[in-house]
Amino acid sequence: MAMKWRAILAACVFGSALLLVFVWFPSTRGHLEGKVTFVSCPGTAPIYQPGQPTYTCTSLLVPGAVVIAVPGTAVQDSAGRWIIVPSGAGSISVRTDARGRYLLDLVPGAYMVGASESGWAVVDADGFPHQITPAGSESRPVMVTRGATTPFDITISWNPA
């Protein structure tokens, strides 16, 4: 009879541990997800052509880009804007998938987030490929909330001279 109760108690403890791992732990973290887009514009800035609905820029999703989140502390400046001061803690990074999308599982808090890519080439009018120097996005602040998914798309701009 004692063995039966021990087995039931062990099953309850094991079940509680599973519940803790699969329900409580994920709800204590936040998620940052989005896509990384590479935008190339001719000249030094986007040029608006009258009669055209958009600028003359090319936009591509970036598979294999590295998204980096640097944890920090949120500080409010004199103008009331929030600034993220990076802490000494390590950064968290992930690569985008084949569709240029990413998902970061983060501890709630303030982060500076940006992306970088390398290995791209452009082909000139004569058909010769030219390697593009590695490019990165501007880092932007984002707050990650416990149990929530925050959408955060990143753009890497490249303007040939």
Q: Which residues, 6 or more positions from 92, have their beta carbon under 8 angstroms from its beta carbon?
A: 68, 69, 71, 104, 106
**pLDDT recorded at residue 57:** 72
**pLDDT recorded at residue 153:** 93
Question: Taking the CB of residue 132, how many other CB atoms lie within 10 A of it?
Answer: 16
Spatial separation of the C-alpha atoms in residues 158 and 155, rounded to whole Å = 10
**pLDDT recorded at residue 73:** 77
**Considering Cα of 66, then 71, then 77, then 82, what sign does the dihedral take?**
positive
Percent of the chain surpassing pLDDT 90: 17
Spatial separation of the C-alpha atoms in residues 85 and 105, rounded to whole Å = 20
β-sheet bridge partners, residue 85: 73
**pLDDT recorded at residue 11:** 60
Q: What are the residue ranges in the chain where pLDDT is below 70? A: 1-27, 42-56, 82, 84, 86, 88-89, 122, 159-161
**pLDDT recorded at residue 102:** 94
* Per-chain mean pLDDT for the chain: 76
**pLDDT recorded at residue 24:** 46
**pLDDT recorded at residue 137:** 85
Spatial separation of the C-alpha atoms in residues 145 and 29, rounded to whole Å = 8
Domains of the chain (ranges, CATH numbers):
30-158 (2.60.40.10)
Spatial separation of the C-alpha atoms in residues 153 and 36, rounded to whole Å = 6
Spatial separation of the C-alpha atoms in residues 109 and 36, rounded to whole Å = 22
**pLDDT recorded at residue 94:** 92
Spatial separation of the C-alpha atoms in residues 53 and 66, rounded to whole Å = 31
**pLDDT recorded at residue 101:** 95
